[in-house]
Amino acid sequence: MERDGPIATITFNDPNTLNALTRDFLTEYWWILKGLSKDDSVNVVILTGTGKAFMAGADIAYMSAMSPHEAAVYAKETVELYRMMEEMEKVFIAAVNGYALGGGCELAMACDLRVASTRAKFGLPEVGLGIFPAGGGTQRLPHLVGDTWAKELIFTGSSIDAKRAETIGLVNSVVEPEELADAAHALALRVLRNSQTAVALAKRSVDGGHQMTLDAAVERDQGLFGLCFGTPDQKEGMGAFLEKRPAVFQHQIPAG
């Protein structure tokens, strides 16, 4: 992990396994997220990989001997890891440099935003192994691209290139490989020029609404919107707008 002010960049660096989702990875990444959750100086986290892969999926040799109970626990631990990212009031950006398959695709989907290299490939090939994507893929993919595309990708196990992923709404943008790091950083800066108080509350609203009916989500939004008006950033943002000057935000995120 490298730091650049409020931006942290985490690079998956095991090219011999194509950055596989191993037990060691799960443990190390959990500790990294735990540390980030307590670090208020970081507002945006960029994830990327080395070599040919962002993350090529799970360690199949490790998974192949699992009992049903062990497999359920493994899926639970993976889902909890991705949920930590969603529940953290920081913006996660996946800079997908290559293969994002299986658990790697699920990890990218757990990010808030996704920028892909033209070399990137996305897919959930689990059904070809006699299993299905249980790291949240069957739930997150329909939210991102709709049931029709999600079912085709999940049921066929097919992979798609970056351009197709952009067309169906799986990624925000596609750039040349040499431009990927700069594109992810530029996107992070576009997020950071705003009130991180407001961004965090907006993330809380979007992600929390997935679990609710429309009426309940809209009602919850009203409360979160009200919280904005008890923060210094709302006073500063609106004051700066009326005074025609740049805003200087404090980025204090209210609890609750």
* Residues designated as active site: 106, 126
Do 10 and 159 contact (CB within 8 A), yes or no?
Answer: no
Q: Which of 36, 34, 44 is nearest to 113 (CA)?
A: 44
How far apart are alpha carbons 95 and 181 in whole angstroms? 7
How far apart are alpha carbons 175 and 58 in whole angstroms? 26
Task: Determine which helix (DSSP H) or strand (DSSP E) holds 174, and give its type and residue range.
Answer: strand 173-175
| DSSP class per residue in 101-159 | ETHHHHHHHHSSEEEEETT-EEE--GGGGT---TTTHHHHHHHHH-HHHHHHHHHH--E
